[in-house]
Amino acid sequence: MDPRLKKIVEKIRDKSLREKVSSLIENPLVEIEGKVYTGLPLNRSPAGLSRHHSYPGGFLEHTIASTEIALTLCKVIEKIYHGKIDRDLVIAGMVLHDIFKPLTYEEEKNGTYTATPLAERLDHLTLAVSELIRRGFPLNLIHIVCAHHGGAAGPIWPRTIEALVCHLADVTDSRLNGEVLRAARYLSRTATGEELHISTSKEAFEIVHSKVIEGWDGVRKTVEKIIKDRLA
């Protein structure tokens, strides 16, 4: 297991939940009609085809970042609103919310991603909910995963504070990453006439930052530097 992910999972105090989460992360596969679907390795997978975290390692970044955001929301709820929240459920929910996304992506030769045949039949949310039920996860954890897209884009609205926190953390991180990726693509296209294929979040943040500090010249220089570094 990725050490960053392992550190987060270790924060789950309930032993039975922690072990269930660990075993799913170490073996993130589903079996349908005797066929085992494994998908991209968790540390290589993106977390989106193009809208957000659409580069190698994006899945892990999104999982870790959204967990951090959710834990910050837990702190706000406890310290400022004096509300109660089950952190174990929030951590487990956040770590597992997109666990089967890697089963839905295929890597193309040019570094872009397409949907797998499995993804043409089932979405990552349905896959996760059914596998969590099969593995005997608690209902309130399954609800978090089921409701993480919210009711407008998913099957049910969050009905617990924990599910609401996870939904908001997911939306926030997807939006944060997606907006910066979109801006970096636009800036590189406008500055150089050709859109740079962004392969890490660091590149995207660098491009946007260079526009703030040095304007279009900064963008051109940063894009040139990124291309040079890739060839080195």
Cβ at position 174, least distance to Fe ion in Å? 6
Residue with tokens 């040095």: 214
Token readout for 80 is: 């400022």
What is the nearest approach in angstroms of Fe ion to the Cβ of residue 133?
A: 17
Query: Would you say 117 and 58 are in contact if contact means Cβ atoms under 8 Å apart?
Result: no
Q: Rule CB under 5 A: say whether 61 interacts with Fe ion.
A: no
Beta bridge partners of 37: 30
Q: Please, which residue, 62 or 211, has the CB nearer to Fe ion?
A: 62
Residue 227 CB, nearest approach to Fe ion (Å) = 30
98 binds Fe ion (CB under 5 A): yes
Q: Which is nearer to Fe ion, 126 or 192 (CB)?
A: 126
Residues 171, 193 contacting (CB under 8 angstroms): no
User: Judged by CB under 5 A, how many residues of this single chain contact Fe ion?
Assistant: 2
Q: Are 165 and 147 in contact (CB under 8 A)?
A: no
The CB-of-218 to Fe ion minimum distance in angstroms stands at 32
Task: List the one residue out of 84, 89, 21, 65 whose CA is nearest residue 169.
Answer: 65
- Considering only 38-46, 98-106, 191-199, 210-218, which stretch makes contact with Fe ion by CB under 5 A? 98-106
- Nearest distance from C-beta of residue 31 to Fe ion, angstroms: 21
H/E stretch holding 115 reads strand 113-115
Binding part of the chain for Fe ion, among 79-87, 150-158, 168-176, 183-191 by CB under 5 A, reads 168-176
Could you tell me whether strands 105-107 and 113-115 are parallel, antiparallel, or unpaired per DSSP bridges?
A: antiparallel
Given a contact cutoff of 8 angstroms between Cβ atoms, the answer to whether 210 and 219 are in contact is yes
Least Å distance between CB 49 and Fe ion?
A: 12
Q: Which is nearer to Fe ion, 48 or 218 (CB)?
A: 48
CB nearer to Fe ion: pick between 74 and 96: 96
Nearer to Fe ion, 12 or 47 (CB): 47
Q: Which is nearer to Fe ion, 41 or 83 (CB)?
A: 41
Q: Are strands 35-37 and 30-32 parallel, antiparallel or unpaired?
A: antiparallel
Whichever of 98 and 131 has its CB closer to Fe ion, that residue is: 98
Phi, psi of 171 (to 5 degrees): -60, -45
C-beta of 125: minimal distance to Fe ion in Å?
A: 6
Q: Is 170 in the site for Fe ion (CB under 5 A)?
A: yes
Which of 110-118, 154-162, 164-172, 214-222 is the region at the interface with Fe ion (rule: CB under 5 A)? Answer: 164-172
DSSP per residue, 24-80: HHHS--EEETTEEE--S-TTT--S-SSSSS-STTHHHHHHHHHHHHHHHHHHHHHHT
Chain residues that interact with Fe ion, rule: CB under 5 A: 98, 170
